A and B are shown apart, each in its own frame.
Chain A
Amino acid sequence: MTATTSTDLTGPHWTPQDLLGGWTLRDFLFSNDYRIIAVKGILTALVMLALAGLFALTFRAELTVPDIQFFGARVYMGLMTVHGMLMVFGFVIPMVISVCYYLMPVVLKTERLHWAGAAQASYWTLILGALLLIVGRPDFTWTFYAPMSLRVGGDLVWMGYLAIVLVGVSEFLAGAVLLRNVLAWKNGWGSMPLLGWGMFSEALLLLLSTPMLALVGAILLTDWAGLTGIYDPAQGGSTTTFLWMFWFYGHPAVYLPLVPAIAIVYTLLPRFLGRPMWSRASGIIAFLLLAVLSFIVFHHHFQPSVTTHSWVQRAFQILTLAIFIPSTLHVFNWIATLWYDRIPASAHAAIPFRFTIGAIFFLILGGVTGFLNAQISVDTDFIHNTYWIPAHFHAMFLGFCAQMAVAGTYYLYPYFTGRMVNRALANTHFWLWQLGIFAKVMLMYALGYAYFPRWVVDYLPLPEWTGAQMGVTMAGAAIGLGFLIFAANLAISARWGAAAPEDPWARSDREPTMTAATAAPAE
């Protein structure tokens, strides 16, 4: 359990050790060791990914060609709902946060995860929520628009609402843990690593937005039971109230996986390149701007629904467009960091670094379209609720956030197993994912531009729809195959992988360059 900590952000974080083999199941489930909490979170998120991915491939099979082949709308929407919820709440957010749980005690020099009990509570609450979701099998989509969500689903639909409340509670607890650990940084805000700033923004997002999600879930529960009528127009409620309350959570929510993923990039790039980020200040500003703006742009999720052309709508439009600036600052910073000095050959070869590059690629691919989505005039054309939107968020969630979670997992792997993953398998995984995600995202953009509607089990056999749908299914299969290789690699290498060297990510063939964390490139 010795951890080598380094003041140098570019240095190794730990010594590789076979921790996993030494943990008992009892330890693994209930110990408050930060590494155990993080590894448990990662492995659980991977099970959720397997589950949600299998559901995706199942309903994708139905969409391959027009007409109903395997099942109807009820099964389809159940799969779609649970796919969306498990991917967002069960896989991508917990996984990036778990990777950060692992990194924080070393990077922020707290040596342990403060409030580990809250992290445990967060984990188990989420497990309960996921189980409720799978047993309840609601079919109200992950945005559960009232009053539709109050009328579908059958007798067990209350489990879905309760799961929403539990997700809110779980995320709130995670936010509290992150904030506590960021505040444990002793050396002042001025020198806090960018991971700390990322976790600080993430904690703000979690703490301020998730109570609203829990509240929305609770109101859905009472509305459904007939005790209140807040969202149901037939009981004197208002759908507008629902939209504003839900999306007040919903927009920060889509940044919940994004911000930790960005923080992981800021941690891995210096580690693999052996030099500090090009600009620390721009990273901090971008994190804070992103956190603040994320709370005041949510209206763009339902902008075609508003009948007025008030200044409020205009304000939301320009704020949404303004989000473009901090997110581009991050990417700019990364590219500038890559560019200002040689990239060691070891970095090009390292699997986590490759995934980081792939993730940045997809952040650009998914991010630029946000510029179109924000404009009301274009949004009301081919964007709102066509496949354009899933294309946009699959590029972001899967292409960027999930790939950074995977990069983090590959990076941490030698540190908790003492072994290296199989490179050939990992590279196969890498290329299957890059090609699969790229094909999937681009075809979904094309479908969106052709007005393919979201949430449909069947579609008209229009020529511009059928070929692309077939392609998306095949791309999905490639992503699924990549995941199977990834999971197998993790399992096999834990036992048979090559033993990790002292520094598994040691840099080689690099020219002497500045390595001090505080040194910044001069103008």
Chain B
Amino acid sequence: MQQALGLMGDQAIMIGITFAMGIAGIAGLFMALFWPRRWRLPYRVEIGFIVVLAGIVIYADRNSAQTFQAYEAGLETQQALSGQVAAGQEGAAFDRRIAVYAFQWGFLFFDEDGAASRNAVKVAPGAKVLFSIAANDVIHGFNIPAARMTTELEPGRVQSIWIQAPQAPGKYLIQCLNYCGLGHTQMKAWLVVGDDAPPAAQEHG
């Protein structure tokens, strides 16, 4: 959801913190093992260590919660507008509103007029797209690697996510990420980004 909001910098910081902590831990382990100098840590170091950890935890929680709320705010705007402004019109929260029917094993996409396409959906480059995903058989997943968004859907519930479509025209993978039966491997579809021209070389991620 960070990509949809243009917050990939936040994610990079989190991955950086993770790397730093991992490297620090492993470096500490090897120094304790092989560095000739012995070091008796005072207990207060641990207190300080906990405070630092707690700070990182609170920072991560706040950051994630803010991202999450901003993301959800987009969906709420859409709800508030639904019925008044059609997707794509001026004032709409999203350029496209696509209903997805996930089933064993494949995806159907319904555009705003209820017209269905099987295992592929076409959107304009950079469009803000709202997917309302539903299933009526088992728990499925819905993942668009290029848009960096994943969700999991329970049968009988409509799960809404939105993405920012990639700018480059092409075909991007959509896949199920929850084991949903033997055809799970094949439960894939294309997100076709482009205008009317035939899609270019197949791309991923």
Contact = CB atoms under 8 A, between A and B. Distances in A.
Direct contact of A and B (CB under 8 A): yes
Interface of A: 73-74, 77, 139-141, 143, 145, 147-148, 151-152, 233, 239-240, 243, 278-279, 282, 302, 304-305, 307, 309, 314, 317-318, 321-322, 324-325, 328-329, 331-332, 335-336, 338-343, 348, 357, 360-361, 364-365, 368-369, 371-372, 374-386, 450-451, 453-460, 462, 464, 521, 523
A523 B69 CA distance: 45
Nearest to B204: A462
A384 B177 contact: yes
Interface stretch (B40-48, B84-92, B93-101, B123-131): B40-48
Given A145-B179, A377-B67, A343 B33 contact: yes
A378 B64 contact: yes
Contacts of A455: 179, 184-185
Given A278-B41, A339-B31, A454 B177 contact: yes
B60 A453 contact: no
B82 to A, nearest CB: 15
Given A148-B139, A385-B141, A377 B151 contact: no
Contacts of B177: 384-386, 453-454
B71 to A, nearest CB: 8
A328 B53 contact: yes
A377 B64 contact: yes
A361 B29 CA distance: 7
B182 A152 contact: yes
Interface stretch (B10-18, B114-122, B192-200): B10-18
Contacts of B50: 325, 329
Given A233-B136, A380-B151, A454-B179, 5 more contacts: A324-B53, A339-B31, A375-B14, A379-B150, A464-B204
B25 A357 contact: no
B156 A233 contact: yes
B15 A372 contact: yes
A368 B18 CA distance: 6
A384 B68 CA distance: 15
A453 B143 contact: yes
The interface centre, meaning the residue of B39, B53, B158 with most chain A CB atoms within 10 A of its CB, is B53
A318 B41 contact: no
The interface centre, meaning the residue of B11, B71, B150 with most chain A CB atoms within 10 A of its CB, is B150
The interface centre, meaning the residue of B25, B26, B141 with most chain A CB atoms within 10 A of its CB, is B25
A375 B175 contact: no
Interface string B15-28: 10111011001101
The interface centre, meaning the residue of A343, A368, A386, A460 with most chain B CB atoms within 10 A of its CB, is A368
Interface string B138-152: 110101010011111
